[in-house]
Every structure is written in structure tokens, then in C-alpha cells.
Amino acid sequence: MSALSEKEARERAEWLRREIREHQYRYYVLDAPTIPDSEYDKLYRELEDIERRFPSLVTPDSPTQRVGGEVSPAFRSVPHRTPVLSLSNAFSEGEVAAFVRRVADLAGEKRSLTFVVEPKIDGLSIVLRYESGFLSLGLTRGDGLTGEDVTRNVRTVASVPLRLRELPGGVVPEFLEVRGEVYLAKDDFARLNEEREAEGLPTFANPRNAAAGSLRQLDPRVTAKRPLRALFYEVREIAMPGNSQTGLFPDPGELSGSPAATEIGSLELLKTLGFPVPTYTTATSVDDLVASIARWSELRRTLPYDTDGIVIKLDDRELARRLGSTGHSPRASLAYKFPPEQVETRVLDIILQVGRTGVLTPTAILEPVRVAGSTVSRATLHNEDIIREKDVRIGDAVILQKAGDVIPEVVSVIKEKRTGEEREFHWPDKCPACGSEVVRFPGEVAYRCTGMSCPAQLREKLIHFASRDAMDIRGLGPAVVDALVEAGLVKDAGDIYALTVEDIRALPRQGEKSTDKLISAIHESRERPLARLIFALGIRHVGQAASYSLADHFGSLDAFLAATPEELTKVPDIGPLTADSIVRSRNQPSMTELIAKLKRYGVKAAVSESRPAVGAKGPLEGQTVVITGSVPGMTRQEAEEKVRELGGTVSSSVSRKTSFVVVGDNPGSKLDKARELGIRIIPAHEFAQAVKQGRGF
Ligand code: IVH
């Protein structure tokens, strides 16, 4: 194929694009490729070659044009045309039965109802817009009203059509908005984590986080390297050219603008237009649905992606539209969540981990066991009360699960398996790391090490100080911190700035290059803005959001340190508990010494940085949260303050405006109210884990 004329090249390129698109469709949508990968690669390379030689022939929807353009500094916010809703959750068959009764009552007619059952894909919700058949916009769900423009990243996802396939009769919708899920397949996730581990990068906790992190990359070239996939399950809006009916789908009647009058019809339509869709089953009664749950509990293992439940949808979309929605969820759909996978293992030991504020966290060392996709060998036991409540002893056989499918948790002890050899855990009166006295303050569940120079506390403090969201000192990770503490070179974070090239060079495994890098990273961190420095100080209850508020409000380190408790509580996000913690901590000699050192060594605490774009005011921004029952490991006041720290609002009563209700042990009537209104329910242990990690829902 040497000297092609431009006309020949154009024709050949058009043919190749059609072929490639067709093969992509067969591969991604029909799951039935008709040529081997090598043949496909040949077609693709030929197209690339022609486009290289005739750049004027490149079209934006060419399969080769998935990545392009400049890296943008942030994602643009775009309002959704209609709210992007979520689903209310059910955790039992009883709740599914109640849902069907409710739908039947509301429907009012004595006709039979059909439900579609789909897997609940554990990924990231995405809304795509097509104009005249071409992909024009890709948005994240955001808060449901406004999303982030991730068009350039979505384009890199191979299974997302850049242009729609024609419907029979050669028509293409003039306007189309669809909703689906971007996800990582289980084995792609495992491979990605292996690669990251080999490169010394942090691994992702689960495929969902990995998919979200990948899609929200500012540089689409990074997204393109991640093996993201997508499935689509909802036609949000559709308009045919000149209102012409395709005849394919029943007359929409009142369902304005949609020829897809049923869920099944919508899925078929999506497939015809070139979108990969999830497999689904149907059910026409509660018994049917209960059988579906059992079937999908098995089927989920065979799916290439993670599912945490199934989605039950009324097939009749017109009826669904009439039923409307409560709060954030349509009345005609329900997510049934599978119970978390539980496995049996044994407690080999219970050890204490010392946190940066001196809190001693008991951790169970377990016989390694695989659960929900990874091997687990330790699980937090939270505190003394929980160990006592569950009566966990060293040597016990226990049931283990992952809370929120992420954090390993001991559910219960299998007491029947006790042999009498088990040993109760006794809380020491001395810190295992430094030998200082251990105390449990009144009103607190945690024991604390009172040592002022506890090496374990110091280690955690230093790791936090250097971490990405704090002073961001690259190269100062746990291993280097351990070596520095061991060598006695660093007694507090201030000493980091006095380290010399010789000091670092003398540490194990430090070469010339890594030493230079670390020295310059330390030097650069002197310029970090005030908010990061406040966060880096590691004051209890002062998280990232609070640090930015404090920096915005006071403008300088000195003004922050001089503020009275009254002044502190005037700052958004700062409650009396946090204010009290700030005052206590800055009065400690170790803190005054640290601050003096930081100043002496030229840490500037400038005020230039605005809040990070990601989750600007925190992941719970705009959400109203109600808490009922006890939250493990926190007092009610602490739990409420955590919500505020993460940008949410706490309310004492459940209403339609409530975003979700946190339900702990001994919940009150708020739970019934939440169920009645179909408000999202979050188990307290999931909530506790999420807020501790600064996550939302
Ligand atoms: S339907 C109006 N179907 O689960 C609600 N959602 O809250 C439309 N999800 O954020 C959602 N798989 O991102 C639907 N087959 C599926 C789904 C699915 C995953 C996600 C969706 C939503 C969350 C439920």
C-alpha cells in the first residue's frame, strides 16, 4: 500500500473505521468477536498509518482519536439536565417484598407487574450525551444535580462508543443521554495492583476506587492506560430526528421523548445503538424475586466485575414515571445488597498499634484467609469495649467479613469451637512501644499512651506530617521514617528540616540519587501553604477540611495559634470539641517546641493555596446526615463532628431532605421513618470506617 492518492486514502480510512467499529461492537457489546486480536491490530495499525500520512483525513470519531488535547488543570462543573438519582437499599427479602407491595399499591391496578433484575455494577456512575449521533459530553454523577466534565477521559474507554450505530431504517437519535457505570474488571484490577506494587506505587483498595481514581485523572493519557470498561443501563433522554418513529419500540404515550417504554426495551435499544449492557433476568412476583436473589448470588461469581447487589426495576417505564421518587430515589427501583462474604479464620494474636495521638488500637493477627477479593491477615478490633462485647480471645475461631467490602472486621467468635486453650487479651498498663503509662480517659473508649517521646507515636506523626495531603515530602515514607527514628536523628517533625545529606546517606538503602531527591523534597516542603501545615501538625479532630477553614479564617500561623476558643468556634467546620482539642494541643510543650523549630528552620506557612479541587469542602458536602444508634469507636458528638468536618450537615430528624441515615446498635424510630421514606441507610460500622478515612458515600 505504497502510493495511495488522497481519494484512495480517504476511502480506505473510511472503510477501516467502519470495520474497526464493527469489530469493537462485536467484541465489547456482543461479546462475540469474529476475528483474532492480531487481525484487528493489523486493521488498526493500517488506519493509524494512513492518518499519519494524511493528517487532514483524521476525524474526531476515528477509533484512533480516543486520547488527545492538552491536560486541563481541573474538571469543569456542568449541571445535569435532569437529576441523576440513586437507589434505596434493601438488605433482606422482607424489604424486597415490602417494595413490591408498595409498588403494587401505588400502581393501583390489578394487572401483573414485571420487574427487570440486573447486577449492581460496583463502579462509578457516568452520564453520556450524544448529539447527532456523536459523543459530546461525559459527566460524573457528582451530587446528582451537577457533575464533572470527564469527556476526554471517557473517550479513552474502549467500550464507550464515540458515535452511535444506526437503528434499523438508518436513523440515529438526534439527542441521547444515557447512564451507565465505568468499572474495572476483577482480573484487570488485580493486574493493575500488581504493576503498581512492582513500581512501588500505592495499591488501590478495591476495583471501585481504582476505577474512580482512573476516570478522574486530569491527564487523559493516564486514564487511557487503565483498562476501564463500561456498561450502560438507562436511557435518560432520547429524541429522534424530526420526531420520526422508528417503529422499533412501543409508542411512548405520555413518556415524553422516549421510544423506550420498558426497561427491557431500553436495554435492547442501548445495545442496538452500540452500548454494552448488563445481562438481566426478569421476575413477576415476590417469589420470583427471591429466587432471582439466590440465582444472582451464584451468578455474581461468574461475572468479570464486582457486584455488591442487584438492581430491581419495574419494567414499565411509564408506570415508573408516574410513581415518581422519594428524596433521591425512584419508587419503582430498588437495590438489594448482598450480605458481605463471610469466612472463618483464627486469631493468632492480639497486638496493640500505637497511633499518632497515642491511641492504642488492638489488632487481631489472623491466620491468612481470602475474603472478598484479597488475602487478609489482620483486622482491627477497635477498642476494649468491642473486644469485650464480642469476647474475642487469642486462639479463637472467628467469622471475618469486610465492612463496606473494604475493611476486614471480626464479626463474631465461634464459641462452639473453643477448646479451653484460648487466652483472654489483657490490656497492659504500659505502652508496648515506650513503656509509658497507659490510661483510659473518662468518657473515652480508647486507651492512650501518655509518653511524650514514644517512638511509635513519633513514627505515625512523622508519616502523617510527610504524607501527600499534608507537607507532601516525597521519599519520606514509613521505611525512611523508621530508619530516622531508629538512628535517633529525628525527635519531632521539626528535626526533618535539620537533616543533612550525610545523615540521610548513612541510612540503610539510601543511594546518592534518592538522598538528593529527599533533600530537595524536604526543602521544597518549606513552601507549603498554611492549611497543609495545620493539617500536618496532626491535631486531634483537625482534618483536611477543618485545616483549610482555619487557614482561610486566620490567615497566618500566629493568628491561628493565638485564637481564643470562642474565635475558633466561629470558624465553619469547627465545633467546641475541635476547638478544645486545638487549645489543649498547642499548650503542650512538645507542640510549642515543634512550632518554634519549624519557624527557625524556615517553614513558611504561606497562605496561597485554595482548597484542593477534589471534594473541595469534603466528600459529604451538601449532604444532610441523621445518626441513630451508637457508632462504634466514637461518641455521638465525635460522629457528628466528623460529618461536619467532611462538609456535611447533621440533622436530628429524618425528612425527605435527609441524604442518608447512619444506623448503629439500638436505633430509634428514625430508622423506621427512614425506611418509610426510602432514605438511604448506612450501617454505623461502614460510616465509622469511611469517615475515619475521610471518605463519603
Ligand atoms: S439504576 C435511578 N442499575 O448503583 C437510579 N444503577 O444508587 C438509576 N448502579 O449510583 C440507577 N449498577 O451508579 C442502576 N444496573 C444498575 C446499576 C446501578 C450499578 C449504581 C448506580 C447508582 C448506584 C445505586
Query: Does residue 119 belong to any structural domain of this protein?
Result: yes
Sign (positive/negative) of CA torsion 546, 552, 553, 557?
Answer: positive
* pLDDT(381) > 80: yes
C-alpha cell at 91: 438488605
Residue 257 has pLDDT above 50, yes or no: no
Residue 352 DSSP SS3: strand
Residues 158 and 254 in one domain: yes
The per-residue pLDDT for 680 is 80
- Give the C-alpha separation, 306 to 404, whole Å: 13
pLDDT for 68 equals: 72
475 neighbors 504 (Cβ within 8 angstroms): no
Whether residues 476 and 591 fall in one domain: yes
Mean per-residue pLDDT, 319-348? 91
DSSP state of 72: P
- Provide mean pLDDT across the span 61-85: 85
Minimal-distance CA residue to ligand 1 atom 11: 86
At residue 680, what is the residue type? R
Q: Return the ligand 1 atom nearest residue 122 CA.
A: 19
Q: Which of 189, 190, 180 is nearest to 120 (CA)?
A: 180
Gap from CA of 64 to ligand 1 centroid (Å): 30
Residues 186, 283, single domain; the answer is: yes
How many CB atoms lie under 10 A from the CB of residue 447?
A: 22
Number of Cβ atoms within 10 Å of the Cβ of 280: 19
In degrees rounded to 5, what are phi and psi of residue 639?
Answer: -60, -45
- What average pLDDT score do residues 418-425 get? 96
Q: What is the pLDDT of residue 246?
A: 41
Q: Which of 439, 471, 496 is the last residue of a domain?
A: 439
Q: Is the pLDDT of residue 398 over 60?
A: yes
Q: Indicate the SS3 state at residue 76.
A: coil
- For residue 124, report the distance from its CA to the centre of ligand 1, in Å: 9
CATH number at residue 275: 3.30.470.30
Give the per-residue pLDDT at 245.
47
Residue from 122, 181, 331 to probe ligand 1 pocket by mutation (most atoms less than 8 Å from CB)? 181
68-72, 255-259, 276-280, 652-656: the lowest-pLDDT one: 255-259
Please give the grid coordinates belonging to residue 311. Answer: 438492581
Res 169: pLDDT? 87
Query: Total domain count for the chain?
Result: 5
Q: Give the H or E element holding residue 195.
A: helix 186-198
Which residues, other chains included, contact 487 with Cβ-Cβ below 8 Å and sequence gap of 6+?
503, 506, 507
Q: What is the pLDDT of residue 476?
A: 93
pLDDT band per the 50, 70, 90 thresholds, residue 44: very high
Question: Are residue 98 and residue 238 in the same domain, yes or no?
Answer: yes
Residue from 7, 120, 186, 491 carrying the catalytic annotation: 120
Give 87 Cα–ligand 1 centroid separation in angstroms. 7
Please say which residue of 380, 406, 439 terminates a domain. 439
Q: Is the pLDDT of residue 202 over 70?
A: yes
Alpha carbon of 339 to ligand 1 centroid (Å): 18
- Residue whose C-alpha is closest to residue 475's, from 515, 525, 505: 515
Same domain, yes or no, for 460 and 479?
yes
Burial of residue 666, with CB atoms counted within 10 A of its CB: 0-12 exposed, 13-18 middle, 19 or more buried: exposed
CA-to-CA distance for 372 and 189, rounded, in angstroms?
Answer: 13
In a domain, 612, yes or no: no
Indicate whether 249 pLDDT > 50: no
Cell numbers 471518605 label which residue? 695
Contact 227, 292 (CB under 8 A): no
Per DSSP, the residues of 155-189 read: TT-TTS-SBPPPPTTS---SEEEEEEEEEE-HHHH
Task: Confirm whether 256 is domain-assigned.
Answer: yes
> Can you tell me which atom of ligand 1 is nearest the CA of 120?
12
| Shared-domain flag, residues 162 and 232 | yes
* Closest CA to ligand 1's atom 21: 125
CA–CA gap between residue 479 and residue 508 (Å, rounded): 10
pLDDT at 2: 61
- Distance from residue 636's CA to the centre of ligand 1 (Å): 31
- 76 falls within a domain: no
Asked if 291 and 181 sit in the same domain, the reply is: yes
Report the pLDDT value the prediction gives residue 151, as an integer from 0 to 100. 94
Ligand 1 proximity of 680 Cβ (cutoff 6 Å):
no
- Tell me which of 630 and 573 has the higher pLDDT: 630
User: How would residue 613 be classed by pLDDT, with cut points 50, 70 and 90?
Assistant: very low
Q: Which of 136, 162, 153 is nearest to 81 (CA)?
A: 136
Residue with cell 480517504: 10
Average pLDDT over residues 102-112: 84
339 DSSP assignment: P
Whether pLDDT at 610 is above 70: no
Whether residue 259 sits in one domain with residue 127: yes
Is the pTM value of this prediction over 0.85?
no
Evaluate whether residue 608 is within a structural domain: no
For the segment 426-430, the average pLDDT, to the nearest whole number, is 92
Q: Give the CATH number of the domain where residue 385 resides.
A: 2.40.50.140
Query: In CATH, what number is assigned to the domain containing residue 526?
Result: 1.10.150.20
* Residue 613 within a domain: no
Look at 696 and 451; give whichever has higher pLDDT.
Answer: 451
- The CATH number of residue 640's host domain is 3.40.50.10190
Cell numbers standing for residue 239: 429524541
Q: Is 86 in the pocket of ligand 1 (CB under 6 A)?
A: yes
How far, in Å, from the CA of 195 to the mean position of ligand 1?
A: 30
Residues 485 and 550 in one domain: yes
- Domain match, 56 and 102 both: no
Q: For residue 120, indicate whether it is catalytic.
A: yes
Are 307 and 163 members of one domain?
yes
DSSP state, residue 376? E
| Host domain of residue 166 | 89-337
pLDDT, residue 335, reads: 96
Residue 72 forms part of a structural domain: no
Ligand 1 site, residue 138, Cβ cutoff 6 A = no
How far apart are the C-alpha atoms of 565 and 585, rounded to whole Å?
Answer: 12
In terms of domains, do 463 and 435 share one? no
State the CATH number of the domain containing residue 17: 1.10.287.610
Residue 247: its pLDDT value, please?
Answer: 36
Percentage of the chain beyond pLDDT 90 is: 61
pLDDT at residue 255 greater than cutoff 70: no
pLDDT tens track for 433-470 = 999 999 988 877 889 998 888 999 999 999 999 998 89
Distant-in-sequence, close-in-space partners of 321: CB < 8 Å, separation ≥ 6? 254, 255
Rounded alpha-carbon distances, angstroms, from residue 150 to 49, 146, 312, 571, 610? 29, 12, 28, 33, 22
Asked if the structure places residue 77 within a domain, the reply is no
High-pLDDT (> 70) share of the chain, %: 94
Q: How confident is the model at residue 615 (pLDDT cuts 50, 70, 90)?
A: very low
At residue 47, does pLDDT exceed 70? yes
Q: How far apart are CA 317 and CA 322, in angstroms?
A: 9
Q: How far apart (Å, rounded) are the C-alpha atoms in residues 497 and 465?
A: 12
Q: Ligand 1 pocket test: which of 87, 115, 127, 312 has the largest number of ligand atoms within 8 Å of its C-beta?
A: 87
Instruction: Please state, in angstroms and rounded to a whole number, the distance separating the CA atoms of residues 696 and 212.
Output: 13
